[in-house]
């Protein structure tokens, strides 16, 4: 997945497509998921298909998209859509939703974003209640 990291753009550098063209930031969850799928090299897609654990991908690539796609900004169109549709707005949760959805698409699996959002909301509720550290 390291190859795709540079394609997201960061620190003022423009995002680039596989062909090297400058890309705009996605403004919807659907666009973001499709962009993640399209920017993932085929060898990484094979790895995703054959390995169920992608927590490190979420950590490294997730940090890049959280920063370059503005997921820390509560007014970001993607964050607003995630909040209005799924009730989540934390950048980690939104990037997790995007990655898990993209990985499901790559694997050809069904994905329930509402179920994942529920897990995230349950986590934050338990944390607020002091039940999870």
In a domain, residue 110? The reply is yes
> Please, what is the average pLDDT of the chain?
84
pLDDT band at 10 (very low <50, low <70, confident <90, very high): very low
pLDDT (0 to 100) of residue 2 = 43
What pTM did the predictor assign?
A: 0.81
Domain containing 45: what range?
A: 2-128
Residue 99 near residue 57, CB atoms below 8 Å: yes
Read off the pLDDT of residues 14-66 as tens digits, 9 standing for 90 and up.
Answer: 455 445 555 689 999 999 999 999 999 999 899 889 887 765 555 568 888 99
Query: On the CB side of 43, how many CA atoms lie within 13 Å of its CA?
Result: 4
In a domain, residue 27? The reply is yes
Residue 4 near residue 39, CB atoms below 8 Å: yes
In a domain, residue 24? The reply is yes
Residue 102 near residue 111, CB atoms below 8 Å: no
- CB-based contacts of 49: which residues, under 8 Å, 6+ apart? 106, 107
pLDDT (0 to 100) of residue 52 = 74
């Amino acid at each position: 997945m390291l190859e795709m990291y540079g394609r997201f753009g960061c620190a003022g550098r423009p995002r680039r497509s596989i062909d090297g063209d400058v890309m705009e930031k996605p403004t919807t969850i659907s666009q973001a998921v499709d962009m993640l799928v399209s920017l993932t090299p085929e060898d990484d897609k094979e790895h995703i298909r054959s390995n169920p654990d992608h927590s490190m991908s979420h950590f490294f690539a997730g940090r890049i998209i959280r920063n370059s796609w503005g997921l820390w900004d509560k007014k970001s169109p993607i964050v607003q859509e995630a909040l209005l549709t799924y009730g989540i707005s934390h950048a980690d949760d939104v990037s997790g939703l995007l990655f898990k959805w993209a990985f499901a698409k790559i694997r050809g699996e069904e994905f329930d974003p509402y179920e994942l959002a529920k897990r995230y909301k349950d986590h934050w509720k338990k944390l607020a209640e002091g039940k999870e550290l």
